Amino acid sequence: MSVQQLDARFASNMGGVVPMIIPTTSAVYVTDARPPSLCELVSIEAVNDHSFEGVVVVTDGADAGDVASRIGDLLSESEEAIKELASVDKTFGSSVSMHCIPGLPGSRLVVAPTGPVDRDIDDARRYFEAASAGVQRASAAGAASIALVLDFQFASGELERAKEVAVLGALDATYVQLEAREHGVKPSITKIGVVGVDSAHVSVLSAMHAGTSLAKDIGESDPERATPANIVDILAEAFKSTNVSMHVHKDEAEIRKEFPLAHAVARCSYSVARHAPRIVKLEYRGESGSNRRRRLYLVGKGIVYDTGGADIKAGGIMFGMSRDKCGAAAVAGFMYTVSKLAPKDLDVVVMLSFVRNSVGSNAYVSDEIIRSHSGVYVKVGNTDAEGRMAMADPLSHLREQAVKENKDGDADVMLATVATLTGHVVRAYGTAYTALVPNGPAKAKQFEKTLADNGHLWADPFEISSLRREDFDMIKSTAKSFDVLQSNCAASSATMRGHQFPAAFLSAVSGIDKHGRNAEMPLPYIHIDNAGSSCGANWTATGRPVVGLTASFVLDRFH
């Protein structure tokens, strides 16, 4: 089939938009850079709108009788039928189930119980998971639009955001991965009407879902679909006609000069033109309002594929390494949410380092000594510790910008790196949690506590780690020829403090270590490692921690 035939074929599937055709050595990749088509979320007053094709009730009821009674009260016209179901099935309300109830929209009722939520070990994720499962069941039954009913009796205290979390879970179930959409797969659920959530909350939740979906698009796509240049196309499309400016560094000489550590990682990739790196800078400047201004400076690790480099990932552990860009993906998704909410009194500046860690005759190797942007000489200890190399120079640039923009002390400032950085964090905290490693000024401002508290409420949980002197000892120079050791030779998962000491490296190489609590200008900095939380089962991207970042630093600026 000719390129022209492919153009015509795919344009008919994509609303007349002719996609880009990207030739590779072995295939033709048909791409569509447009942001994901999102499920429409609306606020409704009742479920008797028969434009919907099913009703999903998410409930935290305790037993079959309790669930039936409460759902019957909510759906009064179907109360007797629901109570009859419970009387003949003692498992009613104990697992997700679909029932035919004439009179309801589409004659479909899906009951999605949360299970226990009041024990010490329970948290808001129960609501996210139940709503997601309920929407998936309704979709499997054939419903393309659903009325969502939230029946909660425990939604207070640590569960006070249960309704919002459940809606996010419902929306999450409607996401269709980028390449699947490009192959012609369409979302099965196109509209959700939620009872009891007002239009202002709908706007916030829709923006969060949009950001999470963009993060998934970037994070989960394969290494040829999501080359650095292709990701730039996705971002350009997402942020065009928004309040976010975008600048792309792509000239090799410029990258070598301004981002020498990232250039070292990318050096081998230049032999294949489509794998060449891109460093992306996005800026949002909020209007002035009534709050003290807040300025966030974030760096995202965007390793589009990680072979390990010369220290190659052998023995089958390279699988899934296209997801090593989920840090940058999350930062991009967060910025997309910011662009939609347009919060006042908030500035956000991000740098995304999209680099491929390839292996070949021009690959960077252990023992190389490279001068960083900040003037620190770094000795490479392990080429598979490439993520910190890709982020250190962008972080140095943002440190300089933060110092320049905040000399008057008129704003609250925070710098952060977001990265799928270590296997150690997965060993330490598991696959559901994002690690926070704050420096002294960040701890003084309790920024890590803000993230942890809001993450707990919004089902995007964090665990707090500490930055210790042993972490700086780990990177200490052993010769006059270099200042900082990039890494030891072992895997992070086999290294003591394997996810903490990279924060010391990033701090020292970027110059942030000169801005501690006792400095003339302290700079709060948090290293955020989402290696565990960025992907769920089967390497499916989650978009975390877009929601946690938004809840912590944006919502109080959204009017």
The token pair that represents 243 in the structure block: 């309040």
Single-letter amino acid, residue 337: T
Give the integer Cα–Cα distance in Å for 392 and 444. 23
Strand partners, 446: none
Give the integer Cα–Cα distance in Å for 324 and 321. 5
> What's the start-to-end Cα distance of the chain, in Å?
52
Strands (E) in 399-487, as ranges, are 411-419, 434-438, 462-464, 484-485
196: left (phi over 0), alpha (psi -120 to 50) or beta: left
Contact 377/353 with Cβ under 8 angstroms?
no
Q: Find, among 386, 397, 385, 373, the residue nearest to 267 by Cα.
A: 386
Helix (H) or strand (E) holding 56: strand 55-59
Distances in whole angstroms, Cα of residue 231 to Cα of each of 179, 237, 340: 13, 10, 20
Query: What residues act catalytically?
Result: 313, 388
Cα-based torsion angle of the residue sequence 204, 210, 215, 218 in order, rounded to the nearest 10 degrees: -170
Give the integer Cα–Cα distance in Å for 398 and 421. 20
3-state SS class at 457: helix
Q: Find, among 355, 391, 82, the residue nearest to 229 by Cα.
A: 355
The token pair that represents 543 in the structure block: 């978009």
Q: Find, among 174, 530, 166, the residue nearest to 334 by Cα.
A: 530
Helix (H) or strand (E) holding 93: none
Give the integer Cα–Cα distance in Å for 463 and 198. 32
Which strands, in side-by-side order, build the sheet including 108-113? 40-44, 191-195, 145-151, 55-59, 108-113, 97-100
Helix (H) or strand (E) holding 527: strand 525-529
Cα 146 → chain centroid: 26
3-state SS class at 327: helix
